Amino acid sequence: MTESTCRVCGAATRQFLDLGRQPLSDAFVTPDRVDDEFFYRLAVGVCLGCTMVQLMEEVPREKMFHDSYPYLSRGSSVMRAHFEGVAQSLLTDELTGDDPFVVELGCNDGVMLRTVADAGVRHLGVEPSGSVADIAAEAGVRVRKAFFEEATAQEILEAEGPADVIYAANTLCHIPYLESIMRGVLTLLTDSGVFVFEDPYLGDIVGKTSFDQIYDEHFYLFSATSVDQMARHHGLELVDVERLSVHGGEVRYTLARPGARTRTDAVTSLLADEERVGLGSPVTLGAFATRVAKVGDDLVTLLRELAEQGKRVVGYGATAKSATVTNFCGIGPDLVEFISDTTPAKQGRLAPGSHIPVRTADQFAEPYPDYALLFAWNHADEIMANETAFRDAGGRWILYVPDVRVV
C-alpha cells in the first residue's frame, strides 16, 4: 500500500521511501528467541495536506514500550548535560510562580527531572516502560507508569492540578495517536502554560540523508511547517522554535494556547526557510529517497571490500537507528563482528533482525578492531574524544552520515 490517510489531519499521504521488512528497533534478542521476532513494513509517507511526514504502518505501542525497554537516556554525557540545561532553563524561565508544576512525557531514567526534583519543584514523569521508570524513581523522581493520553491527563489534573509546563524529549515523535495527546495537553495545561517538545528535525534528516532516524519508534519526522499545522488543528499555537545540535539535529518546539504568548521571529524564519527549500514536498523527499539507496549501496560495498581484505570491523553503539541500517542493507555478523555498547540490557544479546552480537565496551579494546562502524554517529564528538587510544592504535572510523567515508 502506498497511499494512506494522515494521522493528524486526515488528508491523503503519499509514500516516498520503503525501507522494507524491519524488526522492532529496540528488541535485542537472546540467542534462543531469534525465531520469534516481530517484523513490520517500514515505509514513510508525506501528507499532501499538512506536510506531516509519518510512517505508513503503526506498530502497537505495547510491543515497543514495556518492562524490558532497554534504552537509557543517561548513556551519553553530552545528553546528561543537555537535559540538565533544559531543567535549569525551565526552572529559571517558566517554573517561577507559586508552587509551579511540570509534567514530562517519556521521562525515561529521569535524566531531566532529577534536576527539577533536586530543586524541590513539583513534577511528575509519565513513563510507560517500567524498567526505565524504576530507575527514575530510584533517582528521586516522581513517576507514573502509564502511557500519556487524554485519560491520563484528566487523572493527573484531578490528582495534582494543572501543569505550567508539559515537556517531552524524543517522545512526541514516538506517538502516532497525537489527537489524544493534544487533547490531553489542552486538559492539563494552565492558561498561560507551555507545551515544549524536542525531536529529530526533518530538515536535518533530509539535509544529512540520516535515514536511520526512521524506525518503528520514530512515527513522525517533524518540521516547523507540519508542527504549525498540527498545533492549529488541535487548538494550540506554535510560538517558538529552536534548533538543537543533539541527536544529529533536532528542533525544540514551544506550543501555547492561542494568544497566550507572542510568536517569535524564529518561527517565522524557520517556516520561511522550509518553504524556500520545499522541505515537505514530494520532490524533495523523492530526492532524499534516491540518496538513501546510494548510501546503503556504498556502505555495503565498503564493508564487503574490508571483509575480503580480512579486516576486522566492529559496530560502535547498538542504537535503535542501527536496526534500520543493518536490516535495510542486509548487514550481518559476516560484515560486522559485534557491536560494542554500554547499555547493560543490550549486552550479551543479538541486535534485532541482523543478529549481530552486542558486547561490552571493554571488549571493543580486546584487541581493537581495524575499523569501527559508528552507529552512534549522533554522539561522534563524545565517542571520538573518549576513544583516542583506538585511533592511536591505528583504528579508523567508518561513517555513513551524511555519506559513507573512512576517517
Residue 203, judged by CB atoms within 10 A of its CB (0-12, 13-18, 19+), counts as: buried
Residues 158 to 217: which contact ligand TYD by CB under 6 A? none
CB-nearer residue toward ligand TYD: 16 or 71: 71
Q: Cell for 251?
A: 528542533
* Cell output for 253: 518546539
Instruction: Please state the closest distance from residue 379 (CB atom) to ligand TYD, in A.
Output: 4
Name the residue nearer to Zn ion (CB basis): 233 or 346.
233
Grid cell in block for residue 325 = 541500517
Q: Which residues contact 58 (CB under 8 A, 6 or more apart)?
A: 176, 219
CB closer to ligand TYD, 88 vs 386: 386
Q: Does 325 bind ligand TYD (CB under 6 A)?
A: no
With binding defined as CB under 5 A, does residue 50 bind Zn ion?
yes
All three cell numbers of 207: 539535509
Plot region of 129 (φ>0 → left; ψ -120 to 50 → alpha; else → beta):
beta
Beta carbon nearer to ligand SAH, 135 or 267: 135
Q: Which residue in 7, 114, 174, 379 binds ligand SAH (CB under 6 A)?
A: 174
The pattern of x and - marking residues 1 through 30 that bind Zn ion according to CB under 5 A reads -----x-xx-x-------------------
Neighbours of 153 (CB within 10 A): 26
Minimum CB–partner distance for residue 346 and ligand SAH (Å): 14
Q: Is 105 a binder of ligand SAH (CB under 6 A)?
A: yes
Distance (Å, whole) CA 271 – CA 228: 9
Residue 75, contacted partner among ligand SAH, ligand TYD, Zn ion, none, CB below 5-8 A by kind: ligand TYD
383 binds, among ligand SAH, Zn ion, ligand TYD, none (CB under 5 to 8 A by kind): ligand TYD
Question: Residues with Cβ < 8 Å from 81, sequence gap 6 or more?
Answer: none
Of the candidates 347, 377, 350, 379, the one whose C-alpha atom is nearest the C-alpha of residue 361 is 347
In sequence order, what are the residues at sequence separation of 6 or more whose Cβ sits closer than 8 angstroms to the Cβ of residue 208?
248, 249, 401, 402
Q: Which of 45, 106, 176, 395 binds ligand SAH (CB under 6 A)?
A: 106
State the binding partner of 376 from ligand SAH, ligand TYD, Zn ion, none, CB within 5 to 8 A by kind.
ligand TYD
CB of 4 to ligand TYD, least distance (A): 25
- How far is the C-alpha of 29 from the C-alpha of 363, rounded, in Å? 19
Q: What's the CA gap between 385 and 389, in Å, rounded?
A: 9
Strands (E) across 132-215 are located at: 143-144, 163-169, 189-200
Rounded least distance, CB 377 to ligand SAH, Å: 17
- Contact call for residues 8 and 181 (beta carbons, < 8 A): no
The C-alpha cell that represents 123 in the structure block: 513534577
Task: State yes or no: cis peptide before 60, omega within 30 of 0.
Answer: no
What is the contact mask toward ligand TYD in residues 333 to 362, using x (rule: CB under 6 A)?
A: --------xxx--x--------------x-
Residue of 70, 100, 128, 200 that binds ligand SAH (CB under 6 A)? 128
**In the complex, least distance from residue 364 CB atom to ligand SAH, rounded to whole angstroms:** 23
Number of chain positions touching ligand SAH (CB under 6 A): 19
Site for Zn ion, rule CB under 5 A: 6, 8-9, 11, 47, 49-50, 52
Site for ligand TYD, rule CB under 6 A: 71, 75-76, 317-321, 341-343, 346, 361, 376, 378-379, 382-383, 386
